Structure 1
Amino acid sequence: MKKLYFVHLLNDYSGSPRVLNQTITALRQQGNDCTLFVGSSGHGVLDELDVATHTFTYKRFDNRWLTLLAYVWSQVALFFALVWRVRPEAVVLVNTMLPFGAALAARLRGAKVVYHVHETSIRPAALKSFLRRVIACCASKVIYVSKYLQVQEGIAGVPAVTVYNGLSEAFQRQAMATAYQPVRKGRFNVLMLASLKAYKGVNEFVALAAALAEDPLLKFTLVLNASQREVDEYFASRSVPCNLEIYPASSNVASFYGDASLVLNLSHVDGWIETFGLTILEAMSFGIPTIVPPVGGPIELVCDGVEGYQIDALNHELLVRTVVRLSKDSQLCQALSERARAKASEFSTANFQKKIVMVFDEL
């Protein structure tokens, strides 16, 4: 049995805390003693864990410089919270590149450090450079969520492994039990789940809905990883087409997949390259065809024309044509659906847990 510490900055319903939830669950099942440290701002999937949990001070602000200062202070607080607890025989898993205070504390105490890197689109550039130096100095091993990320962001001299994200067994069961239908209740429902950021393609999704507002068959649904207040503020001065429904963060994303005909990921290839795309995999497990960016981790999930399509979010005309074509071709949607579900079955909980446990057994 190992003493394991897990550290994450912001608890919400996005991909990285969801994967951390699965990681902790897998390692607890092996009899390890697990403790979680998480920033005090936000609530999400990590609240579901039945483990000893400590919070460290962290708060986000509308002003990015205030947020940066709060982040730096949070790492000072995290460093001192861990430096008195961690022993040399312990292992500290740092989830994402951001919680560097945990890595420094573990290094000082002689404990092993494992980084689980989900994405590296970090700004300003000086911060990313600093975080990479911390990893180079402190990490015993780095886990990457895709081969693309390992190749692009690997750090010389630090052992690395790619472990693809998996879906929880409960989610997989629900997905497999849901029959895919291209048209439900007379509508072809185009769904996107994303953070409330321009580089995530939110504006492009709204523009797509607006361009197809006259088509009575098409319905658009946007689920944002943000509070209702944040959603209201963002769209207060923006026009929302009548065929678009917008929702804040939800703990029950499966209900949205159950009604979806097509799922989109419109992250900008010049501003945020997706390193895996957990929502893509979730959609595929429901047998839903997807449209994804033509670069990064998503192309390891979706082959163009096989499980879905690879289209640049800024290629508005091609997006419009593809959505319209799919909405009118149920046979094509069913073929894409079958292949998507088959591909998603390769990313099982069992495979994920086996590889994660192996990483820690080898330390």
Structure 2
Amino acid sequence: MKTLHFVHLLNDYSGSPRVLNQTITALQRHGAECTLHVGRSGHGVLDELQVRTCRFAYKRFDNRWLTLLAYAGSQVALFFSLLHQVRPGSIVLVNTMLPFGAALAARLRGAKVVYHVHETSIRPALLKAFLRRVIAGCASKVVYVSKYLQVQEGVAGVPAVTVYNGLAEGFQQQAMATPYQHLHDGRFNVLMLASLKGYKGVDEFVALATALAADSVLKFTLVLNASPQEVDAYFAGKALPQNLMLSPASSEVAKFYRKASLVLNLSHVDGWVETFGLTILEAMAFGIPTIVPPVGGPVELVSDGVEGYQIDSRNHEQLVRTVTRLSQDPQVCQALSERARRKASEFSTANFQKNIVMVFDDL
């Protein structure tokens, strides 16, 4: 039986912890002895796991320098924690580039290190360069979530493999059982799920809703990976249109997809390149047409005009025209829906589990 340690910085409802949840579940079913090491602050999908859990100090602040300081301190704590717990011959999976303390400790203890890389947009650049050096010096293998990311972030001399994210089995079953509807209670509902960050296109989504406020058929729903207090603080003093509904983080995202006519991802192509786009895949599983950025991992999911459209979030007028046209054309939406659902079926739980288990079988 293999002994595996999984390390993640911040537990929330975003893509990387959701994929880690699936990874741990797959390897537990395969008979591995698993321990999760996760930052103490935050609640999310990792709370759902039945796994031995060790927590280390970590807290995010509104001030980026305080967050950077807390991050550095967390890695010192993580390093010493794993130094005492990891044994030679065990395997440490570092989820995202950030928890470098775990990789250093594992290397010193003679354990094998596997990185699961989800991101490319890390600031400051000096930190990213340092993290890549740690990967080069410590990793036995790197798993990337898309071909784009493997090409963009490949580390010379370190074996690499692309394992596309899959959908949780229960989620996929819900999605398959839900027929696509062009209108919900007479409204064309445009949905976006995102972290509460400017580079995720939050302001562009609000601007789109504002521009289309006069169209009584259109409704906009913005689900943010943040607390109610954080949502209130971000939008304090900002004028919001009546056709826009805001929602804080939710563990039950399927309820939003069931009522969606169109799903958007408006991440900035020059500030945050999406490396995969799990919410895009989730929407496609429900048969929902999507609008995605024209760069990065999303283009491996959505071909322009096939399962949805590729539009730069800076192209406000094209977004307005496309959303308006789709709201008036149920036939086009239905055709996009059928192709989206067919494409999403390629990213099954079974395929993900098989591929992620093979990564560790080969070590």
**What TM-score comes out, normalization by structure 1 length?**
1.00
Return the alpha-carbon distance in structure 1 between the equivalents of residues 88 and 192 of structure 2. 44
Report runs of 4+ in structure 1 exceeding 6 Å deviation. none
Return the alpha-carbon distance in structure 1 between the equivalents of residues 335 and 251 of structure 2. 30
Return the alpha-carbon distance in structure 2 between the equivalents of residues 84 and 335 of structure 1. 56
Return the alpha-carbon distance in structure 1 between the equivalents of residues 169 and 59 of structure 2. 33
Return the alpha-carbon distance in structure 1 between the equivalents of residues 339 and 60 of structure 2. 41
Shift of 1:120: 1.8
Shift of 1:147: 0.1
1:315 partner letter:
N
Return the alpha-carbon distance in structure 2 between the equivalents of residues 334 and 358 of structure 1. 37
Identical-residue share of aligned pairs (%): 80
Task: Give 2:53's aligned residue.
Answer: 53
Structure 1: unaligned runs, 5 residues or longer: none
Query: Which residues of 2 match residues 194-209 of structure 1 at below 5 A?
Result: 194-209=194-209
CA deviation digits over 1:65-97, x for unaligned, max 9?
010000000000000000011111100000000
Task: Give 1:106's aligned residue.
Answer: 106
Return the alpha-carbon distance in structure 2 between the equivalents of residues 272 and 239 of structure 1. 25
Task: Give 2:241's aligned residue.
Answer: 241
**What TM-score comes out, normalization by structure 2 length?**
1.00
2:24 partner letter:
I
- The alignment yields a C-alpha RMSD, in angstroms, of 0.4
Shift of 1:41: 1.0
Question: In structure 1, the residue corresponding to 2:85 is in which secondary structure?
Answer: coil
Query: Which residues of 2 match residues 246-325 of structure 1 at below 5 A?
Result: 246-325=246-325
Return the alpha-carbon distance in structure 1 between the equivalents of residues 281 and 15 of structure 2. 11
Task: Give 1:173's aligned residue.
Answer: 173
Query: Which residues of 2 match residues 143-154 of structure 1 at below 5 A?
Result: 143-154=143-154
Count how many residue pairs are aligned between Structure 1 and Structure 2. 363
Question: In structure 1, the residue corresponding to 2:323 is in which secondary structure?
Answer: helix
* Pair 1:128-2:113 in alignment: no
Return the alpha-carbon distance in structure 2 between the equivalents of residues 8 and 208 of structure 1. 35
Question: In structure 1, the residue corresponding to 2:208 is in which secondary structure?
Answer: helix
Structure 2: unaligned runs, 5 residues or longer: none
Shift of 1:105: 0.3
Return the alpha-carbon distance in structure 2 between the equivalents of residues 308 and 172 of structure 1. 20
Question: In structure 1, the residue corresponding to 2:41 is in which secondary structure?
Answer: coil
Return the alpha-carbon distance in structure 1 between the equivalents of residues 86 and 200 of structure 2. 37
Return the alpha-carbon distance in structure 1 between the equivalents of residues 62 and 274 of structure 2. 24
Return the alpha-carbon distance in structure 2 between the equivalents of residues 251 and 262 of structure 1. 20
Return the alpha-carbon distance in structure 2 between the equivalents of residues 84 and 327 of structure 1. 58
CA deviation digits over 1:196-215, x for unaligned, max 9?
00000000000000000000
Shift of 1:257: 0.2
2:166 partner letter:
G
* Pair 1:223-2:223 in alignment: yes
Question: In structure 2, the residue corresponding to 1:101 is in which secondary structure?
Answer: helix
Return the alpha-carbon distance in structure 1 between the equivalents of residues 22 and 261 of structure 2. 27
Task: Give 2:94's aligned residue.
Answer: 94
Question: In structure 2, the residue corresponding to 1:18 is in which secondary structure?
Answer: helix
Task: Give 2:155's aligned residue.
Answer: 155
